[in-house]
Each structure stands twice: as C-alpha cells, then as structure tokens.
Structure 1
Amino acid sequence: MWIPARPIVPRLTFVLTLFLTSAAAAQEFRATITGRVSDPNGLVVPGAIVTATNSESGELASATTTTEGVYTIPFLKPGLYTVAAELTGFRKVSQANVRLELGQTAAVNFQLQLGELSEQVSVIAESPILEAAKADRGLVIDNDRVNELPLNARNPFMLSYLAPGITYNGPAIYQRPFDNGAIADWSINGGQNRNNEFLLDGAPNNSIQGGNNIAYVPPVDSVQEFKIVTNSYDSQYGRTAGGVVNVSLKSGTNQLRGTAYEFARRKGLDSNEYFFKVNNQKKPDHKLDQYGFEIDGPVEIPGLYDGRNKTFFMFSYEGYKEATPNPATYTVPDAAQLGGDFSNLRDAQGRLITVYDPATGRLENGQWVRDPFPNNRIPASRIDPQAQRFAQYFLQPNAAPPGGSDPWRNNFVFAPNLAFDTFRNLATKVDQNISDRTKMFVRYAYNKRTEQRSTNGILSGPAQDGQLPLWRINHSGVADWVRTLSSSLIVNIRAGLNQYLELARSDPGLNFNTAELGFPASFVNQLPNKVFPRLNFVTTASAPSGFGTSTGGTTEYQNLGRDTRNSETTTGFSLQPNFSWVKGTHNMR
C-alpha cells in the first residue's frame, strides 16, 4: 500500500528549525576552518580528507570534502594549526602556521597535484587568514597583548579600550577585577550603556544584579584571548542590543608552562600627592599586594598515565589585598548640643538655625507656626529618654572646625580611615580528547571579594555603619561536549551555570537588644531581626538647608547604625545545543 510522503514535510521543517534555533542560542567562541579542494584543472575533488592539527597540543580534527569539494572543520580552539589535505592518486598538501583566532571562520583552500600519496607539498602561511563566512565586525585581543600590555588593576576586560567605537563610562578608580558593576559600563558603537553581552568560554557571563553586571572576571594569566564584537550581524549574537565581549580561557598543551607574579605598592615607593604637600601632610599609608600564578600542560602521572595529545589542564589563582586610606571629616554633636543647647547652631552666613518646640503650634494668617525654644535651648525635661540613649553612641569631637566653617560643623576627623579589600580568584579547566571523534572540556571558576569599610568613623560597638563586610561571591562552571557523527554532521552540547551573590552586612549591630534603647517589649518582640536600628538625619523642605542629609547626599551629623543585611543572589543556567551540517556547498549551523 502506497503512503503519501506529505507527513514527512513537517518533520523536516521541525528538524531544520531545530538546527537553526540551536545555532541562534549558542555563542561559539572556537574557530572554524572551511574551504574547497580542487585538482590541477580546478575541478572539485570529493572524498578528500582534510585534517587540522593543533601545533601545541597535537589535537586533531578532520573532515571529508563533499561532492562539491567543500569541507568544514568547526569547534577548533584558538591557536596555531597545520592543515593538510590528501586523497589517493594525489600528493598530500599541508599548510603550516595557520593561526586561528577566537570565533573566526577561516578559509583554507587546497589544489592537489597528481602524484603518490607519500609525496608531500608543504606551504607555510605567512599572511593572516581571511575571515571567510561571517559578517560580524570587531577586534581580537590576542594572548600577546593580554600578557604584555600595561593593565591597571589587572582586569582583562579593560583591554576593550583597544577596540574602536568603544566608550567606558564607569569611574576610573573602580576598574579592579571585583568591581563587577563599574567595569560593565561600556557603550559599544553608540549603543546604550550596559546593554552588552559578556561570554566566558561561550557561556553567558552576565549577572542581572546591579543592572547587567559582569559576573566573573578571570585572572589575566588564565586568558587565552578575547574578542569584542562591535557589530553583531551574526545571528548567534541576537540576544543583546549592544556589543559582545567573548573571552576564552587557556587550555593546556603538551608543554608544561607556568607564570608567577607579585605586584606590590607601599608608602615608601609612592611619591606624595600634591594636596598632601600643600597642607603639609604625610604620605598616605596605602598598601596593595596582587599576586598569583598560572600553570597548564598535559596531565601526566609517571608510570600510570601519559596525557600528552589527550588530557590537558589549566589552573590559575590570584590573591588581592589592599588597605586604602580614605580620611574623612564628620560632624558630631558636642556636649552642649547633647544637653539641649543649640545656641551655636548657625548657617554658613552666621545666622541662627532656629529649633522650634514641637509641642506648640497655632494658625496665623492661614499658616501653621510654632514657637522657638528660648535661646535655642531645649530644657532637660523635654529631651526624650530614647534620644538620650541613642546619644551615648555618638563620637566626641576631636578637632576644631576649620576656619570659615560654622562653629558646630566638621569637628571630627577620621584618619586614616582604612578601607580593606581582600579578593581571591581561581579558575581551572580540563580538556579531554576521548577519541578522534569525541572531545570535551569542563571549567570551574570561583572568586570572593570581602570589603571592610567604616562610613561613620565608629570602629567598635553596634552603632557602626559601612560595609561590615560586603561580600561578592561568584561560582561559574561550564561543560562542553563535541561529537563527530559523520563526515558532514557534528553535534556540540554546552551547559553553563553561573551564580552571583552580593551580601552587605553589618555584623557589629547583629543580635542587639533594642530594649536597651528604651523601646517597650511589645515593640521589640515584633521585630523580625535583632539589630541596632539606623539613626539618620535627613533634610526636608521645611528643615534648614545643610542640616542633616541633604539632597546631594552630604551628611552633617554622622549616622548611627546600619540595621540592614541585604542579600541578593542571581543564578543563571544555560543549555546550548549546536549542530554543524555540511551539505554540498552549504554549511548549516
């Protein structure tokens, strides 16, 4: 019985859709070699075997030319290759020193000459291989530039400056590898700020926390190269309104290699800054240590396993310790003000800032008015007991207000006010050539930033305010598997996991009994957390200008406490299937 073939059409449509959808979802960081093999007369040569051999690791990949003489070898790591074509009845032709860059599709064509297969024609590539089949535009930052160019704070993403059409909009002082938000402030080719995609080994490396932060920043020595795509015409980059920064970490080779480094900064090596000299101040005691190492090579266990050409590893670690002086000046209430005497409370023009009695009030000429306290002094009987308990946590003045200042302002100098940053960063990667047809790699990366910094000058007790501490923790992992199913069909599956945690704490204020401040038990028992409350002075439309926290963020009286424990975790999982199918002169991915 004959069955019509129409039901097959939707299935074929579904399969083709699967191929195309998979390609759009996967951002490939590896390179591809494609080309045509012809005979001396320029006619196509089907059935020729083309091999690409990595010159450093010995890894080999191959493809067979189609009936149109076309071949494609995808999923090749960036690096140097020797590409060869051979077929019985022709001399073997090889081309050495073919350098592949991240995300590149390179054209390497061969013209075979008649002869014995044992005869060989060798060509050494001297000029760069042209991009043959992709329309995206950008710049590749190769390994030499990553390793050799001066790099402030050793953050590899800052090398994106080298690409034309890129503007960095973040603060110049926040370019360290743990400043995940500021270092994402790029505008590419006039696109909106922070609308870019960051990839690590082909997997997403963005965190929505903070507005599209960079989640993980690898150590410089672990980076093989990266590419800034400024015009992402290629459909695989369809998820972003800006550009793409695609980073590839190193893979080991047959040679054991490594680096170690230490960058130090000390007071004795620094020159004094201009404003310190003008004010006859000593040099600030700024200390910084940034140190680490990277090692990669074959996995070898003497007498048990020889991983050359098969199993490779890379491990990189970086530590960062910095103590940064941030001298600050605060305003604290003096003894007279704590006793209710505000007779010295004056503005910049010397006018008295009146303190009104909240217990008074009447309507005059359609406006509600209050009476001032006599002589700007609050009677002791009117001072709230809870306010008195809060007042014991204020610091005492330790400096005379500078000339030209109001007599009650800027009377506490907090120096040297050291901010402490500790950062640990590691990345490890293992590549395995299971067979000529199957290869895979796994990569895990982790870093943690701990910041300790006071923002109100109080260094002990529950009333401290600041980052006490601030944690930024990132876990990043990817597993990638490539299988050659036939001479024309290759499948790649990549799974990635990225978890980013930002936690702001105030440990000194935890487990504080709020009843000590005079709050009744009926109120204390309803509080979700036992924590020292925050006391903030805020300027309102009816308050004197400059009293409290102004619109611009200037704090006159120091804050007390923090009362917060902010924690935000973002977790992203990606599954990226990718297929490469060569049919005739076409390559569908």
Structure 2
Amino acid sequence: MRGSVARLAGVFALVLVAASSAFGQAVSTASIAGTIRDASGAMLPGVTVTATQTGTGLTRTAVSDATGGYLLTQLPVGPYRLEFTLQGFRTSVQQGIVLQVNTNPTINATLELGELAETIQVEANSPLIETRSPGIGMVVENERVLELPLNGRQTLDLIYLTGMAAPSGTLSGARGGQASAGSPGTIAVAGGLPNGTAYVLDGSTHNDPYNNAAMPFPFPEALQEFKVEASALAAQYGHHSAAVVNAVTKSGTNVVHGSGFEFLRDDSLNAVDPFAAIGADGRRRSDGLNRNQFGGSIGGPIARDRLFYFAAYQRTHVRRVPTSNFAFAPTMAMLSGDFRAFAAPECQGGRQVNLRPPFVNNQIDPALFSPASLKLTSLLGVKPDTACGQVFFDQVDDSDEDVFTTKIDYTVSGSHTVFGRLQFNKFDSPTNYDGKAAMSFTTSAFKNRVYAFALGDTKLFGNNIVNAFHATINRGNYGKEYVPLFDYSDLGVKATPVMTDYMRLSVTGGFSVMGPGALPTLTPTWTYQVADDLSVIRGRHQFGFGANYIQTKYDSTSFLAAAGNTTFTGQSTGLGLADFLLGRAASFSAGTLTGVHVQSRYIGLYAQDSWRVSPNVTLNAGLRWDPYMPVYSKGPVHALRSRSLQQGIEEHAVSECGRRARVSTRRGDARQLDRAQRSLERCAACRHCDRSEGSRD
C-alpha cells in the first residue's frame, strides 16, 4: 500500500512539472472556445461571454483573457445562445448553436464600436469540424437516431455509421445492447478489441462486467445522441483501450414535449414461407408472427428554469411459432429391427449405408435393443409417418421486453446543477418447448432484469473552476429456467442426476433432446462507480484532473456439466439411430455445478492540459495512471482454486500492459489551418492499456 501511494505521488509530481494533458471536461458534456476581436482584427480582452441553454434557461459566463480568448466548459448538450458584451461596443448575439456530446467547437466573434444597448444578432451554427481535440470521432445526432431505420430499434447499430466500426463476431455470454436472449455480434472500433470499447451513458460506465460488451442502451426516443471516439483519446479516458462510445439520454426543458409510436409486423402481411411444414389442409403452415413495438416519451418542467423531468417507455411484444423445424426419430420399421428403408439413398442424402457386421441386410434383432432407448423413444412425443422417420415440430418463439427510462434535472443555482437517471430493462421469454415433442425444447426461459442508475453533480467555483462528480450503480440479473421433462432415472439407467428431470442426449443423423441452449444459468452482476473531474482554467491553459473508481462483481453458475451428456454418433453400426436403439453410446459425461464468483476493482487517475498557444494552435498533453489490481474471489471458485485463478489472470495482464507501470501518456496538437475553420491538422501519439474483467476476456 505504501509503495502504491509513493508511486502515485511520484506520478502526479511528474505531471505537475510537465504541465500535462488534454481536456478536463466531463465526458457527457461539451465546451465552447473562441477568440474575440474588434472590427480591425485586434484582440479584445475583458469581454463578457454568456452562454444560455435555450431549452432550460441555464446560463454560464466567462471573460476573455488578454489575447481575446475565452473558454466555457461542462456545458450540457443542446441548443445555445451566445452573447458577447463589452462597454463601448455593440452587443453581439449568436443563435442557432447546437452543442453535441463531448465536442469542443470554436466560435469566434467580432464586436463593433457602438452603444452597449445596440445588439447585432447572427444566426450561427457551430462548425462541424473539431478544432481543438487531436482525437478522431463522430457524433450521431438526435435526428439520425430518430429517423434512420433500425432493425429492432437497437441504437447501438448506429455505431456503424461512424465509418470506423465493423462487426467482430460474438463474445461468450454476450448480451449486446439489449436485455434479451441470444449472442448478438460485438463491435470493433478502429481495429480494436471487440470487448475493448468503453461505453459511457450520461458520464457513467455502461459496460457489462460479465463480458465487457455494452449494457442495454436507451431506445431512440430516449437517446439524445452519442459520439464514437478512437485513436488519440484524452488522458481522461481509460479502463478500455479501443474506443469510447459516449451517449447522453434526453432531458426535459421549459416546454412540454412528447411523442408516441407503434411499429407492427404481422403474419397476414408476410409472404408464405416455402420451407414451412405442410398442414392437415395440404397448405404451408403459417408461423403466426405478431411483433408489436410501441411506446412514447414525455418531458417538461416541474419548476420553470429549475426542475425538469423526462420519461420514456417502450414495449416489444413478439408472438411467433416457426414451423420448419424437423428431426428424424425411430420409425415402426426401425423398432422392429428393419433399417433397410432408412439406410437407402432416399434417406441418406443419395448414398447407400450398410450396417456394419455382425448385422446383415440392414436388419437388427429387436431383442438387442436397449430398454432405456426404447423408453426414451416413447417419451419423445412424436410418431414418424414416413420411411425416413422425419418429423416436424413447432418451437415457440415468444418474448416480451419492457424498457423504461426516466431522468430528473435540477438547476440548484446558476453555478450548480444536479441530475439523476434511471433505466430499467425487463425481458421475458418462455422456453421454445411446444408442449408435445421433447426435441422441440432447445432454449430455456429467459428472465432478465437490468437496472442502471446514474447521479451527476456539476459545481462551478467562479468562472474558471468547474467540478463534475458522477456516481453509478448498475445491476444485472440474468436468469434462465428449464422445463422439467425426464432424466436418466426415468429411463431405468442407474445414474444419480444432479439436475432432476433433465438430461442431454444427441443422435447423429437423428435427433437431440435438451441441448446446451436449454440449460439453466444464473449470472447476476453488479457495478459501482464513483468518478470526479476537475477543470481549472489559468490563462491559456485548461488543466484537468480526475479520478475514477469502478468495482464490479459477477456470480456465474453453470449447469453444463451437471446436466451430463450422452452422444450416439454411429461409430458402432454406421447409423446413429441404430447405435441409439442398441444403447451403444459414443460418449457419456456427467459432473457437478460450475461457476465463478469474482470481483474486480479499477482505479484510474489522470492529469491533463490543453494549451492554446495561439488562436489557431492548441497543444495537448496528458498522463494517466491505471494501477494493476487483479481479479479476486470471495466465494467458491468451482474447478479452479482462487489463487490459481488470480495467478493466471495476473500473468495474462502482465503480458498486455505490465503489472506495475500501467502509465499511459497522451500527446497531441490540433492546428487550425484557416480562420474559416474549414480545415484542421491533427497530430497525436498515445499509449492505452486495457482492463481485463475476469474469465470472459
């Protein structure tokens, strides 16, 4: 501990001597900077700059320095009005300025001689080009979030619009941007790790501690905008190395705004599936699809210019029964020992299969059949009526998802603002068991609950010091439940099942029951975060200092080994179904419950400086310290001793970034090439370290 404190003191001493780093603003806000001149082009010091957020009435002020420069930090995103006043000059007002998340536009002004009461109004749009940051990023603004078509209305898919993101496969246990089933594809940004992206929502961490993918994101009506940043990130960013996805939820304003929506898909509007099963009437069966997604949002004032609310809700209701699922089960001929029809080319993909000796003419004495296999055949719930034994069955595909987002913004005073945001996701999906065919049960029931709470507090100490504090509590409760059907004891097999009324079995070229997807699992997760960012403006320097503490925990319980597994591959007779009826298994396994109960702590400290060398040149430098803190366990770690687990993770982390150093340097400059702000030259170099979170990395 003393060594860590000493290293920390040494790092910050080095930082203070070097006057390092990039931007000290909270990641969910924006800043405005610029230079003020008179009509002759001379710099104007002492100009009062007032920024007013037109939606809420929030005001911030700054005074230009000796070189005419000014800087306003920690501004909430949204539309603004800028006013420039100086005795002896006409007041200049610029409207139509829209600040986007984590952007730093340069907005210059020119004041003309005249009375202070005279006002010149200019309709101005802040330049799209980033004129101060050395990093590369792109904002997906609210218009595109709302208007672009999205399959399933998953806002994370909009990351691909940034031009530097690509699908990167799946992660084990991935839950993607929704609290639903399946393993959706992860996103790699700028060639980085698929689980190396830091997701930030309203300035708070939004990564799933189980696999480092994103937790559920707000749906379009609840999301204001987001920005994807990569390459030379400021020292303020840590924890993950590839990129940062920085999102902001909507807030209420002085005007009540609301919306409502509904999206409907129904089988009556779809074409007939040419591969669907044929019903009793001789026609292709319908899957009965009904997908209804509806909801709305509302926001407004509770107390004008002081207290605002926003709330949004979305429900996704899906009912569907796909009918194109089939398998091959023992026919009456097979049960009587006759495999001639099943071994023929018509049932074996165009090739003739002959049972291996001692069996002759593709026939087996039924007396040799296993009583356990015959019992299981009677429990399958299907009766083949074709020579090949093909049977069709339904698999239910129903789900209900509810998403609720609410946010409260409170302007305590002109120098103090507070907000609180809560997002709740609920996903329920029953098993796909149709109630008849045992082989239809391949997916267990999902009962997922995700809570994400964020609290933010921004306090100004004069015009040049701003402090932003964030606290976060994220809770995920991911559970899967199975349907009790039968186990080995029901078949007369002398086995001691760890899971009652459940067993896994597969037959090559035939059928399978209760596969891995049908297993129950429990994966509760917790995330706690406390972060603080301090921005200090001194002359042409904007210093930033900050600390970030994150504690994560997950308890995973797996029934994969406990369920056991029996396979029949045809290695004995040449046909899987023949091996099955004879009871000649190719493999059998059984075990106990497994799981990992681990926690991790992360600490990140940084110092940074943005130095405005001239109106056109900004130099950035920074230093970040991320001490290595290994994953640890306070509960039982099945199959691995805790010490062995920690040593393995420690060795993995050392190979990535070094156990003790974990010091990231960031350097860069942004040079504006013309006064019209149409072109910019960037140059940067940095070192990033990624934080591993347990066994899923």
Q: After TM superposition, list the pairs within 5 Å mapping 1:187-198 onto structure 2.
A: 187-198=188-199
Aligned-pair identity in percent equals 23
Q: 2-side partners of 1:59 and 1:464: how far apart?
A: 59
Q: 2-side partners of 1:373 and 1:18: how far apart?
A: 87
Q: 1-side partners of 2:17 and 2:258: how far apart?
A: 45
- Give the stretch that moved more between structures: 28-37 or 335-344: 335-344
Aligned-partner SS, 2:459:
strand
1:414 and 2:401 aligned? no
Deviation of 1:37 after TM superposition, in Å, equals 3.6
1:308 corresponds to: 304
2:656 corresponds to: none
Deviation of 1:385 after TM superposition, in Å, equals 4.8
Aligned-partner SS, 2:34:
strand
Deviation of 1:427 after TM superposition, in Å, equals 0.8
1:495 and 2:471 aligned? yes
Task: For 1:153, give the aligned amino acid.
Answer: G
- Give the stretch that moved more between structures: 465-474 or 386-395: 386-395
Q: 2-side partners of 1:127 and 1:178: how far apart?
A: 37
1:258 and 2:236 aligned? no
TM-score (norm 2): 0.67
Distance 1:314 1:518, change over 3 A: same
Task: For 2:301, give the aligned amino acid.
Answer: P
Task: For 1:412, give the aligned amino acid.
Answer: V
- Cα deviation per residue 1:118-144 (whole Å; 9 max; x = unaligned)? 333332215636422112223222111
Give structure 1 stretches of 5+ with no counterpart.
Answer: 1-8, 300-306, 357-370, 401-406, 538-547, 550-554
- Cα deviation per residue 1:524-570 (whole Å; 9 max; x = unaligned)? 4xx655x2231312xxxxxxxxxx24xxxxx6223157783211123
Q: 2-side partners of 1:176 and 1:270: how far apart?
A: 28
Task: For 1:212, give the aligned amino acid.
Answer: N
1:396 and 2:378 aligned? no
Deviation of 1:206 after TM superposition, in Å, equals 2.0
Task: For 1:286, give the aligned amino acid.
Answer: L
1:574 corresponds to: 529
Deviation of 1:345 after TM superposition, in Å, equals 5.2
Find the partner of 1:324 among 313, 316, 320. 320
- Cα deviation per residue 1:9-49 (whole Å; 9 max; x = unaligned)? 9798389599979978x860211011234456655544443
- Give the stretch that moved more between structures: 190-199 or 246-255: 190-199
Q: After TM superposition, list the pairs within 5 Å mapping 1:48-447 onto structure 2.
A: 48-126=47-125, 128=127, 130-169=129-168, 177-178=178-179, 183-209=184-210, 211-273=211-273, 281-299=284-302, 307-326=303-322, 327-338=324-335, 346=343, 347-348=348-349, 349-354=351-356, 376-378=363-365, 380=367, 383-400=369-386, 407-409=387-389, 411-415=390-394, 417-447=395-425
1:486 and 2:472 aligned? no
1:472 and 2:435 aligned? no
1:367 corresponds to: none
Is the 8 Å Cα contact of residues 64 and 71 (structure 1) preserved in structure 2?
Answer: yes
Q: 2-side partners of 1:175 and 1:482: how far apart?
A: 31
Deviation of 1:151 after TM superposition, in Å, equals 2.1
Aligned-partner SS, 1:418:
coil
Q: 2-side partners of 1:488 and 1:105: how far apart?
A: 17
Q: 1-side partners of 2:27 and 2:42: how far apart?
A: 33
- Cα deviation per residue 1:306-350 (whole Å; 9 max; x = unaligned)? x11111111111001112332201112234545666565525523
Deviation of 1:185 after TM superposition, in Å, equals 2.3
Q: 2-side partners of 1:170 and 1:513: how far apart?
A: 35
Deviation of 1:421 after TM superposition, in Å, equals 1.6
1:536 corresponds to: 505
Q: 2-side partners of 1:470 and 1:264: how far apart?
A: 23
- Cα deviation per residue 1:188-241 (whole Å; 9 max; x = unaligned)? 3344444433222222222243x4332112121111112222544433344444
Q: 1-side partners of 2:428 and 2:335: how far apart?
A: 36
Q: 2-side partners of 1:176 and 1:482: how far apart?
A: 28
Q: 2-side partners of 1:332 and 1:217: how far apart?
A: 44
Deviation of 1:164 after TM superposition, in Å, equals 2.1
Find the partner of 2:510 among 542, 556, 560. 556
Is the 8 Å Cα contact of residues 396 and 434 (structure 2) preserved in structure 1?
Answer: no
1:34 and 2:33 aligned? yes
- Cα deviation per residue 1:382-415 (whole Å; 9 max; x = unaligned)? 5555445434312232442xxxxxx444x21114
- Cα deviation per residue 1:167-196 (whole Å; 9 max; x = unaligned)? 33569xx99955687555223334444443
Distance 1:433 1:186, change over 3 A: same
Deviation of 1:53 after TM superposition, in Å, equals 0.4
Is the 8 Å Cα contact of residues 22 and 576 (structure 1) preserved in structure 2?
Answer: no
Is the 8 Å Cα contact of residues 448 and 477 (structure 2) preserved in structure 1?
Answer: yes
Aligned-partner SS, 2:105:
strand
Is the 8 Å Cα contact of residues 488 and 582 (structure 1) preserved in structure 2?
Answer: yes
2:620 corresponds to: none
Deviation of 1:114 after TM superposition, in Å, equals 4.6
- How many aligned positions are there? 522
Is the radius of gyration larger for structure 1 or structure 2? 1
Distance 1:566 1:21, change over 3 A: farther
Deviation of 1:375 after TM superposition, in Å, equals 6.8
Deviation of 1:257 after TM superposition, in Å, equals 0.8
Is the 8 Å Cα contact of residues 469 and 531 (structure 2) preserved in structure 1?
Answer: yes
Aligned-partner SS, 2:473:
strand
Distance 1:399 1:296, change over 3 A: farther
Distance 1:427 1:572, change over 3 A: same
Task: For 1:505, give the aligned amino acid.
Answer: E
Is the 8 Å Cα contact of residues 331 and 384 (structure 2) preserved in structure 1?
Answer: no
Is the 8 Å Cα contact of residues 176 and 186 (structure 2) preserved in structure 1?
Answer: no
Aligned-partner SS, 2:294:
strand
Distance 1:561 1:113, change over 3 A: closer
Q: 1-side partners of 2:402 and 2:234: how far apart?
A: 36
Task: For 2:393, give the aligned amino acid.
Answer: F
Task: For 1:309, give the aligned amino acid.
Answer: D
Is the 8 Å Cα contact of residues 46 and 68 (structure 1) preserved in structure 2?
Answer: yes
Distance 1:67 1:97, change over 3 A: same
- Give the stretch that moved more between structures: 496-505 or 557-566: 557-566
Q: 2-side partners of 1:109 and 1:446: how far apart?
A: 42
Distance 1:11 1:503, change over 3 A: closer
Aligned-partner SS, 2:379:
coil
Distance 1:499 1:228, change over 3 A: same
2:540 corresponds to: 585
Distance 1:180 1:170, change over 3 A: farther
Distance 1:515 1:296, change over 3 A: same
TM-score (norm 1): 0.78
Task: For 1:325, give the aligned amino acid.
Answer: V
Is the 8 Å Cα contact of residues 167 and 186 (structure 1) preserved in structure 2?
Answer: yes
1:368 corresponds to: none
Find the partner of 2:435 among 459, 482, 486. 459
Deviation of 1:444 after TM superposition, in Å, equals 0.6
Is the 8 Å Cα contact of residues 179 and 450 (structure 2) preserved in structure 1?
Answer: no
Is the 8 Å Cα contact of residues 158 and 175 (structure 1) preserved in structure 2?
Answer: no
- Give the stretch that moved more between structures: 105-114 or 54-63: 105-114
